[in-house]
């Protein structure tokens, strides 16, 4: 990841969402992007030029555009019509973004449009956030993460899972579900002060299990 004067940046052309520029780089605002917040709080998180990424919950493409500056290809899944229109506009200017109109709870419906990827990124704020990530594990490339690297990142919005329970209780249950699905937990991070009641869970390969779409 590239940092200039303590700011996270990416190297693509600017003007996606009126982002600031510094020394020819786009400033990646951690207050607007949970992935940027994670990268600011955990410098071990890295995106590389050979990565293919499956991004769930692409919204209007703000974070997707920064990810695309770093990696080979981003498959960006979004369901809501309004942000999807914005995502399509972003994808017109970045040919390594593949926008997909799809419901992340039903990956079987858009599976024909995907290839295997190196990294799953899950930012769909629904009650079954862990389940959505788990359903997409079959899209992970065999051998990804074999050297202890990350294979999946879940951005857990605890209040979207169950507002009646504490964030810590939701977090603990989510960790258990991910490990039961065969993932190893490489790191966890609450995203304060950038995002309240949000936690990032960085996963690697554990005992890979066969999971139907």
Annotated binding site for S-adenosyl-L-methionine: 62-63, 78-79, 103-104, 123-126
Task: Kindly state the helix (H) or strand (E) to which residue 34 belongs, with its residue range.
Answer: helix 34-41
- 130 close to 82: Cβ distance less than 8 angstroms: no
- Residue 4, CA atoms < 13 Å, CB-side half-sphere: 13
174 and 201 in contact (C-beta within 8 Å)?
yes
Whether residue 8 contacts residue 30, with contact meaning beta carbons closer than 8 Å, is answered with: yes
Q: In whole angstroms, what is the distance from residue 204 CA to residue 173 CA?
A: 18
Residue 191 near residue 34, CB atoms below 8 Å: yes
Binding-site entries: 62-63, 78-79, 103-104, 123-126
End-to-end CA distance of the chain: 32
3-class state of residue 88 by DSSP:
helix
Residue 138: partners with Cβ closer than 8 Å, 6 or more residues away: 211, 212, 213
Q: Which of 154, 99, 103, 161 is nearest to 127 (CA)?
A: 161
């Amino acid at each position: 990841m590239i940092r200039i004067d303590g700011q996270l940046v990416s190297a693509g052309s600017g003007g996606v969402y009126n982002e600031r520029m510094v020394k020819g780089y786009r400033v990646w605002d951690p207050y607007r992007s949970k992935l940027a917040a994670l990268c600011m709080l955990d410098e071990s998180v890295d995106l590389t030029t050979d990565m293919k990424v499956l991004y769930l919950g692409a919204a209007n493409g703000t974070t997707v555009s920064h990810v695309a500056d770093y990696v080979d290809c981003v498959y960006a899944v979004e369901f809501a019509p309004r942000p999807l229109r914005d995502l399509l506009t972003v994808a017109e200017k970045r040919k390594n973004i593949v926008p997909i109109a799809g419901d992340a709870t039903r990956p079987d419906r858009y599976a024909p449009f995907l290839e295997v990827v190196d990294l799953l990124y899950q930012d769909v704020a629904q009650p079954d956030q862990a389940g959505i990530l788990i359903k997409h594990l079959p899209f992970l490339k065999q051998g990804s993460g074999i050297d202890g690297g990350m294979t999946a990142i879940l951005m857990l919005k605890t209040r979207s899972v169950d507002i009646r329970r504490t964030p810590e209780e939701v977090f603990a249950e989510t960790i258990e579900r991910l490990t039961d699905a065969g993932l190893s937990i490489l790191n966890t991070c609450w995203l304060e002060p950038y995002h309240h009641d949000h936690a990032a869970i960085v996963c690697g390969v554990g005992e890979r299990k066969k999971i139907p779409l």
